[in-house]
Amino acid sequence: MAKAMKIVRRSLHAFSRSYQAFAAVAALLVFPASAATLLAQSLPSLSSPILRSISSRLAFLFEAAGFPPSQFFSLLNSKLSQSIFTFVSTLPFALTFSLLAKASVLRTTYGIRRRGAASLLRLYPSLALTHLFNSWLVLSANAAVLSLLFLAFNVLDALHLSSSGSVLVLSASGVILYSFVLANAVATCNLSVVISAIDGRGGYHSILKTLVLLRGRTATAITLTLPASLGMAAIEALFQYRVVRPYRLTARFHPSAIWEAFSIGYVHSLLVVLDTIMACVFLRSCRSTVWSRWSNYDHDVDVASEEKIALRV
């Protein structure tokens, strides 16, 4: 926890030191992606057939898998439907504006010395490939958790232990497992994007390097994902309350609501930038630790060699 707080302080210091550059990136590059995300999460509530279509198919899938009807799976169905709709509708913005914004933030934070738009375009292929592999990783994490829950509920049913109490306990365990696996997947995705930009090699190579670097640092990585995740969730809820809810009540936008929508979208963009900065600072901390360990290892090897030579003499 102390190490995570130290990384957060360093990230805030880096953000304030280059605030003008990061504010420009948030306004020009991140804002379209943030606005698309906020609008995509509002559209299902305004056009219910889209959400109802996705939710009905997921409900049919859960029923075919043998999941018992419970509040946990209703909530999971709603969350997955929202996530699928948001991912598909914002994919063009994520592959363009969001990746270029992350490349610009990484270039400023991590000290990549190439300047200009050409350097951003050189970083883009590795970032795009890593983003696609990250999407596959998150999908695999969701599928793995659902498969484990499928096996657990079917084992309970085969042993005739599927009472309301056992279903409740298993559902609570499923919530904890799902949250833990998803948090690990998000932390891995955030760090793999930074590694792909620095190494210039995207795809599964960046994910494998991330998994190696996260050994023994998983708790710190998950802790670092919480501030940005909670902040974005709060901003999305504020957008629903201050912009979407008045529109549903009056069926029109007021000038003040439009101004609030732009302000909320810009704050969301700043949080995306800050989340990328924290990933950069965390990677630098991991690499410095690994480098110091290797330096100590080399020093110990040299000392041992010198002792062996002295004994031979």
Higher-pLDDT residue of 232 and 47 is: 232
| CA–CA distance, 123 with 134 (Å, rounded to integer) | 17
- Structure-block tokens of residue 137: 């990783």
Q: What's the pLDDT tens digit per position in 83-126?
A: 888 888 888 898 888 888 888 888 887 665 555 455 667 788 88
Q: Cα 144 to chain center, whole Å?
A: 18
- Three-state DSSP class for 173? helix
Structural contact between residues 177 and 83, judged by C-beta atoms closer than 8 angstroms = no
Q: What is the pLDDT of residue 268?
A: 92
Cβ neighbours, 10 Å, residue 87: 15
Cβ neighbours, 10 Å, residue 22: 25
Q: What is the pLDDT of residue 289?
A: 60
Judge whether residue 263 has pLDDT over 50.
yes
Contacts of 148 (CB under 8 A, 6+ apart): 177
- Structure-block tokens of residue 170: 């298993």
Q: What's the pLDDT tens digit per position in 18-76?
A: 888 888 888 888 999 999 988 888 765 545 677 777 778 888 877 777 677 767 777 77
Q: What's the pLDDT tens digit per position in 265-312?
A: 999 999 999 988 988 888 888 776 654 443 443 344 343 444 343 324
Contacts of 99 (CB under 8 A, 6+ apart): 124, 127, 128, 131
Structural contact between residues 93 and 38, judged by C-beta atoms closer than 8 angstroms = no
Q: Classify each residue of 224-249 as buried b or exposed e, where b means 16 or more C-beta atoms within 10 Å of its C-beta.
A: bbebbeebbeebbebbbeebbebeee
Q: What's the pLDDT tens digit per position in 140-196?
A: 888 888 888 888 877 877 777 666 777 777 778 878 888 888 888 888 888 888 888
